[in-house]
Chain A
Amino acid sequence: MSERDIRLKLENLVKEFPERGGKGTVRAVDSISLNIYSGEFLTLLGPSGCGKTTTLRLIAGFEGPTSGQILLDGKDITPQPPNKRDMALVFQNYALFPHMSVFDNVGYGLQTRGMSRSDIRDKVEESLGLMGLKGLGDRRPNQLSGGQQQRVALARSLIMEPRILLFDEPLSNLDAKLRVQMRSEIHSLQRRLNITSIYVTHDQIEAMALSDRVVVMNGGQIEQIGSPEQIYRYPASRFVADFIGRANFVPVAIDSTNNGTAQINVLGRECQVPLQFDYRAGMDVVAMLRPEVLSLREDPTLQQVQIEQTMYLGSEVEYIVRSGEQTFVVAEKDPRLQKVYSEGGTVGLDYISEAVHLLPA
């Protein structure tokens, strides 16, 4: 991506709030710099209080930054009021105007722009059709199901053809099944319209499913930026590894390094692992092994572990096994093809050495 393709640029963005009941300040957003490229779907992911929603509200203009700049297509929009920014936000609780019909809700922004009645009618009808809301234009928001309300909220934003579409945890009020369905609708809509989107969520699956890039945030700062695969396979920190999926951590020392690989001893076995970061021999690090990287086999040469729990989940079997002080989560795919070990037994613990990832201790 070249400098030209940058749609939105955040430069050293800081937001401080006065401390509740105290005299000090809390840094909700701590010096964030970030480029969002044209047509990209970017997710801000993190636990509650990590600053992701505040960042989004700074972008939308509902909060003013304590310091730093926001540039839209190269132009500084930091001083612009939110109604002058060419962005549309989809709210967590949809924020549909309860006193207006679906039609009026969707047409509200166009009306504000001063578009003619007949043009509004055409565009709204088209938009309702696109969102599968045909024939619901006369309804009030409270006469719609949660999923339909969500679609109206989406239609109301999309119709503005904004330069950036912003989402503030838009699926968190839906039940699990509907959430998955809406997730895939948002995904295909965004790919089809190729609209630049910034999406805030605390749900890592949602983030992975939707995004081109994920920004993992913690304590007001960016922990890591990368594609879903990058952040899952090569997390930059223990926090990211833990927040994105599940992980087993084994403290190890690096024996030697050679040609971008490190020699380490994990689970009683020497192995070579590719180096993602700048580690040197003798350093203490943490080896991360995802549950699906581990497997159980009856092999006396492997490190022997006790099976503490066996959970049959259909598509996989999950074990919790113990080796001395350390416990591991093991996920075995497709139990039809393999033996299911029962609780209380002892068995060997194997792993795929290429999938081991080293993190700073």
Chain B
Amino acid sequence: MQATSLRNPVQQIRMIMRDPLLAIVLLVMIFFVIVAILLPLLAMIGASVSPEGIPVFSEYLTSHVYLEIIRNTLVLGAVIGTTGTAVGFLMAFVQVKLDVPFKRFMHIVSLVPVISPPFALATATIVLFGRNGSISRGLFGVRYDIYGLDGLAIVMTLSFFTISYLNLRGMMLALDPALDEAATNLGANKWRIFRTVTLPMLMPGIASSFLLLFVEAIADLGNPLVMAGNYEVLATRIYVTIIGLYDTTGAAVLSVILLVPSLSVFIVQRYWISRMSVVSVTGKPSGTPQTIDHPFVKWSLFGLAMGICLLIVLIYGTIVHGAFVTVPGVRWDWTLDHFDFVINGIGSQAMRDTTTLSVIATPIAGLVGMVIAFLVVRKEFFGRSALDFGTMLGIAVPGTIIGIGYILMFNTPVSINLPLLGDIDLIPKLTGGRAVFGGALAIVLVYVVRSTPAALRSGTAALSQIDPSIEEASISLGADSARTFRRITLPLIRPAFLAGLIYAFARSMTTISAIIFLTTPQTKIMTQQILNEVENGRYGNAFAYCVILIGIVMVAISVLYFLVGSTTGTEQRIEGGL
């Protein structure tokens, strides 16, 4: 799909230099990836292999406590990978292969967890099913200890299955119905087709869902903080090491230990499994997809899927309801105090700060994603795949690790000493006390870094569907590359752009792990405030925060639709970033 195919780097550079604007944009993007992603990572790795770090490595890797934590982390990843993929598969299968009522409802409910604030699901689940849960104790009289792997499995499966749902649903829809028909025509019944055609064709998708969920689960901080109990994982340990012990070296060492499985699984998923895919999106599908008619199979799958949907509705219902009562799960008196606290009280600053910073980060992430996608798909230059990979690191690396990298990298200004001029700050102090803009710049940067990969993926997918000759036509008609990008490319990939923007805003508003070490007294972030409320047992306030946060995200999505233009299928593209 490249417009040119130059092998020689010198020629490539010359080609790009013919268009100075393009060269500048390329340099800016490279600079962004280096400063915002690579340098913090390197700083973190540097701290771990420093003279203070090396002994910590050997201490941790031989200690029973830490080996247990590592094992817990990997087990959690494997469990969530399995359950999340299973639930995603079920929901997708019901959606694509069954002719049952309420499919639209189930689809929407399956998408809801995308905009769930961290802790919301976990807290509501505790209110419902915990030791004093209104269902477990109230209805059944059981004192169920939900804390630990079982609780985490429930909550994280429901939080993350949307990823595998969208992934597998897309693949199932792309399966050529002619293959089913060919198998039927050769005498196979539905069960045989499922075993010999459908399932093997979806295998790469199932594997890739498992791996994505594995990475997501071992990186997650929010759910384990609330739900893990004694089941300690690396993410929570890193958090405690920084917040409780102020031990950045120890945290860096743990980060590297967490980085190894995260990154290797990510690389396997992205560069190996995704290439095994045999499902190709071709032109016109031939024939109509067949549905499963066997009544027992059909209705039991439907029942199972409906049960999961109702559970999600119940949990979200608890969040909304809990925001309006005195003490959720204990005293069910109607009150508006929690909203008063968030909107007019201490919470109002967090609300304003978080929204403002997200609003700043969103268009940047969207545009940077589209521009890098454009460069990667359309231009040929040395380091093209490195740029792509570097950008993807923003999401492949667990948020806590990004956060630690930022502390290590930007707690002091990066300066050089020039003769005559003296010390010049290249990059000012971004984090900690007396940081520029009260640390807000670092938070915006993290928001952008975490959201750009999704925009990049959806942009790349959209661009590879568009014939480069359309852009060449614009250039041959006298438009320069900036005008061509603005007038031709961007409008053509508008649905991808919109998906990138929506994802960026939702992600920024709900992220916790990456910014938890970066908030300062001057800059308050809602997710961090929610954690405070949850830790102090003030669930009502936490739920009110969540409801408002969800409300803000919904309003923002409507505004984005209005501004960028409505489109169909946007929700399918959101998965691109994970």
> Within 8 Å CB of B182, what residues of A?
89, 91, 95-97, 156
Interface status of A88 (Cβ within 8 A of chain B): yes
Judge whether A89 and B278 touch: CB under 8 Å: no
Closest B residue, CB atoms, query A89: B185
Interface status of B184 (Cβ within 8 A of chain A): yes
Interface status of A118 (Cβ within 8 A of chain B): no
- List residues 76-134 of chain A with CB under 8 A from any CB of chain B: 81-84, 87-89, 91-93, 95-100, 108-109, 112-113
Number of residues from B at the complex interface, CB < 8 A: 24
Q: B286 contacts which of A81, A93, A108, A160 (Cβ < 8 Å)?
A: A93
Judge whether A88 and B185 touch: CB under 8 Å: yes
Judge whether A95 and B181 touch: CB under 8 Å: yes
> Nearest-CB distance from B195 to chain A (Å)?
11
Judge whether B186 and A109 touch: CB under 8 Å: yes
Closest A residue, CB atoms, query B200: A99
Interface status of B201 (Cβ within 8 A of chain A): yes
Judge whether B282 and A83 touch: CB under 8 Å: no
Judge whether A99 and B278 touch: CB under 8 Å: yes
Judge whether A91 and B200 touch: CB under 8 Å: no
> Nearest-CB distance from A139 to chain B (Å)?
14
Judge whether B197 and A156 touch: CB under 8 Å: no
> Within 8 Å CB of A277, what residues of B?
none
Q: A95 contacts which of B179, B196, B278 (Cβ < 8 Å)?
A: B179
Q: A91-B178, A99-B201 are in contact. Are A112 and B186 (CB under 8 A)?
A: yes
Give CA–CA (A142, B282) in the complex, Å.
13
Q: A95-B176, A112-B192 are in contact. Are A83 and B185 (CB under 8 A)?
A: yes
Interface status of B183 (Cβ within 8 A of chain A): yes
Judge whether A108 and B196 touch: CB under 8 Å: yes
Judge whether B185 and A87 touch: CB under 8 Å: yes
> Within 8 Å CB of B192, what residues of A?
112
Interface status of A60 (Cβ within 8 A of chain B): yes
Closest A residue, CB atoms, query B190: A83
> Nearest-CB distance from A79 to chain B (Å)?
14
> Within 8 Å CB of B203, what residues of A?
99
- List residues 47-63 of chain A with CB under 8 A from any CB of chain B: 57, 60, 62
Q: A83 contacts which of B176, B187, B196, B280 (Cβ < 8 Å)?
A: B187
Judge whether A109 and B187 touch: CB under 8 Å: yes
Judge whether B181 and A82 touch: CB under 8 Å: yes
Contact bitstring B273-316, A, C-beta under 8 A = 1, else 0? 00000111010001100000000000000000000000000000
> Within 8 Å CB of B186, what residues of A?
83, 88, 108-109, 112, 156-157, 160
Judge whether A83 and B184 touch: CB under 8 Å: yes
Interface status of B189 (Cβ within 8 A of chain A): yes
> Nearest-CB distance from B202 to chain A (Å)?
10
Closest A residue, CB atoms, query B282: A93
Give CA–CA (A91, B186) in the complex, Å.
12
Give CA–CA (A355, B164) in the complex, Å.
68
- List residues 519-538 of chain B with CB under 8 A from any CB of chain A: none
> Nearest-CB distance from B563 to chain A (Å)?
29
> Nearest-CB distance from A157 to chain B (Å)?
8
> Nearest-CB distance from B82 to chain A (Å)?
22
Q: B184 contacts which of A82, A99, A142 (Cβ < 8 Å)?
A: A82
> Within 8 Å CB of A109, what residues of B?
186-188
Judge whether A97 and B179 touch: CB under 8 Å: yes
Closest B residue, CB atoms, query A98: B278
Closest A residue, CB atoms, query B178: A95
> Nearest-CB distance from B176 to chain A (Å)?
6
Q: A93-B176, A109-B187, A112-B187 are in contact. Are A62 and B201 (CB under 8 A)?
A: no
Judge whether B187 and A91 touch: CB under 8 Å: no
Give CA–CA (A87, B200) in the complex, Å.
25
Give CA–CA (A3, B220) in the complex, Å.
74
- List residues 420-477 of chain B with CB under 8 A from any CB of chain A: none
Give CA–CA (A87, B176) in the complex, Å.
20
Give CA–CA (A89, B279) in the complex, Å.
22
> Within 8 Å CB of B196, what residues of A?
108
> Within 8 Å CB of A89, what residues of B?
181-182, 185
> Within 8 Å CB of A96, what residues of B?
182
Give CA–CA (A113, B186) in the complex, Å.
9
Contact bitstring B250-286, A, C-beta under 8 A = 1, else 0? 0000000000000000000000000000111010001
Closest A residue, CB atoms, query B186: A109
> Nearest-CB distance from A214 to chain B (Å)?
23
> Within 8 Å CB of B279, what residues of A?
98
> Within 8 Å CB of A92, what residues of B?
178, 286
Judge whether B178 and A82 touch: CB under 8 Å: no
Closest A residue, CB atoms, query B196: A108
Give CA–CA (A113, B189) in the complex, Å.
11
Residue of A57, A83, A88 most packed against chain B (CB within 10 A): A83
> Nearest-CB distance from A154 to chain B (Å)?
12
Closest A residue, CB atoms, query B201: A99
> Nearest-CB distance from B393 to chain A (Å)?
31
Q: A93 contacts which of B178, B183, B185, B197 (Cβ < 8 Å)?
A: B178
Closest A residue, CB atoms, query B285: A93
> Within 8 Å CB of A62, what residues of B?
181, 184, 287
Give CA–CA (A156, B189) in the complex, Å.
17
Judge whether A60 and B185 touch: CB under 8 Å: yes
> Nearest-CB distance from A126 to chain B (Å)?
17
Contact bitstring B188-229, A, C-beta under 8 A = 1, else 0? 110010001100110100000000000000000000000000
Judge whether A98 and B183 touch: CB under 8 Å: no
Closest A residue, CB atoms, query B278: A98
Contact bitstring A152-165, B, C-beta under 8 A = 1, else 0? 00001100100000
Residue of A87, A89, A112 most packed against chain B (CB within 10 A): A112
Judge whether A108 and B183 touch: CB under 8 Å: yes
Contact bitstring A57-76, B, C-beta under 8 A = 1, else 0? 10010100000000000000
- List residues 130-182 of chain B with CB under 8 A from any CB of chain A: 176, 178-179, 181-182
Closest B residue, CB atoms, query A159: B186
Give CA–CA (A109, B193) in the complex, Å.
11
> Nearest-CB distance from B273 to chain A (Å)?
14
Interface residues, chain A, with chain B CB atoms under 8 Å away: 57, 60, 62, 81-84, 87-89, 91-93, 95-100, 108-109, 112-113, 142, 156-157, 160, 168
Instruction: Sample 27 A-B pairs with CB under 8 A, ordered by A number.
Output: A82-B181, A82-B185, A83-B186, A83-B188, A84-B187, A89-B182, A91-B286, A93-B178, A95-B176, A96-B182, A97-B179, A97-B182, A98-B201, A98-B278, A98-B280, A99-B200, A99-B278, A108-B188, A108-B196, A109-B188, A112-B188, A112-B192, A142-B278, A156-B182, A156-B186, A160-B187, A168-B286
Interface residues, chain B, with chain A CB atoms under 8 Å away: 176, 178-179, 181-189, 192, 196-197, 200-201, 203, 278-280, 282, 286-287
* Across the A-B interface, the 8 shortest Cβ-Cβ residue pairs: A109-B186, A95-B178, A98-B278, A95-B182, A112-B187, A83-B184, A82-B184, A99-B200
Apart from A60-B181, A83-B187, A142-B278, list 13 A-B contacts with CB within 8 A: A83-B184, A83-B185, A83-B189, A91-B181, A93-B178, A93-B282, A95-B176, A97-B201, A98-B279, A99-B203, A108-B186, A109-B187, A113-B187
